[in-house]
Amino acid sequence: MYVNDLMKDECVLVTGGGTGLGFATAQKLLSLGAKVHICGRRESVCHEAAERLMATHGGNAVAHGVDIRDAEAVDRMVGSIFADGPLTGLVNNAAGNFISRTEDLSPRGFNAVADIVMRGTFYVTHAIGRRWIASRLGGSIVSIIVTWVNNGGPFVVPSTMSKSAVHAMTMSLAAEWGRYGIRLNCVAPGEIPTEGARKRLNPTVEPGARSALHNPMGRCGTISELQNLVVFLLSRGCDWLTGQSIMMDGANHLANGGNFYEMRHWTDEQWADVRARINEQNAKDKIGRN
């Protein structure tokens, strides 16, 4: 779809770039000639990801272990990147989410999502944006949100609230920072099966099954479709495009809401089973990090 050197001379940071859709995004950018920085809480995972990226595509991929919930750590990371050369783009991909009845949600559970998605996204955007402004440089920011920002997200309220904040930030800063040549846009992908989504959003259902049943196009999305859209938004193909949130979900949110509303029929036993599965996966992940 794109010429091979489309992103030559571009330097892009992808948060949450060590796994899943973030890794796939970094992969596409690197294959098109960009220098890529990836960051995540698990430093070893990011370093392994950077090595795999360069082994497959060559180029330059740099890994950073950072918790984006820590504003000072984010600023140090961004400062170190700019010391070697300015970024030209940012993909706000890092996120956290899990399904839960809101009455069962604890403040800790709420903050686990909100601190990453809302606060962390702002910290990274702010650290980069203010350096672009001070250096009189432009840049492009793409944030990954959800279609539920338009119609609510039952059973994923912390994510819906936090992604709505990112959506609002994008519109606000597009207007405020446009005069500096800084563009901000969002992509809200529908179901694109990944390991993380399967474990915490619908661990009882085969990945892609919901979309096959309910999506107007009869399928889930593909990683390549998301890669292509993010690349276009980061590229210089349309510098007048800013402040937009693009819903890439096969019209699912228009047809049936595109959220988890059908879970209203779940029994207490089903919720208990899902909660146990998610807690078990969280424990495994914690052991893996240690």
CA 70 and chain centroid, separation: 17
pLDDT in tens, 223-240: 999 999 999 999 999 999
Provide the residue ranges of all domains of the chain, joining segments of one domain with +. Answer: 11-289
CA angle 73, 79, 80 (to 5 degrees): 95
| Stated pTM of the model | 0.91
pLDDT in tens, 16-46: 999 999 999 999 999 999 999 999 999 999 9
CA angle 94, 98, 104 (to 5 degrees): 140
Place of tokens 């840049």: 139
3 state DSSP class of 30: helix
β-strand 61-65 against 89-92: which pairing, if any?
unpaired
Q: Which residues on neighbouring strands pair with residue 39, listed in sequence order?
A: 15, 64
Beta carbons of 123 and 231 less than 8 angstroms apart: no
H-helix or E-strand spanning residue 63: strand 61-65
Sign of CA dihedral 221, 40, 130, 60: negative
| CA diameter of the chain | 57
What DSSP designation does 244 have? -
β-strand 245-248 against 182-189: which pairing, if any?
parallel
* First-to-final CA distance of the chain: 41
Task: Give domain 11-289's CATH architecture.
Answer: 3-Layer(aba) Sandwich (3.40)
pLDDT in tens, 96-111: 999 999 999 999 999 9
Whether residue 112 has pLDDT greater than 80: yes
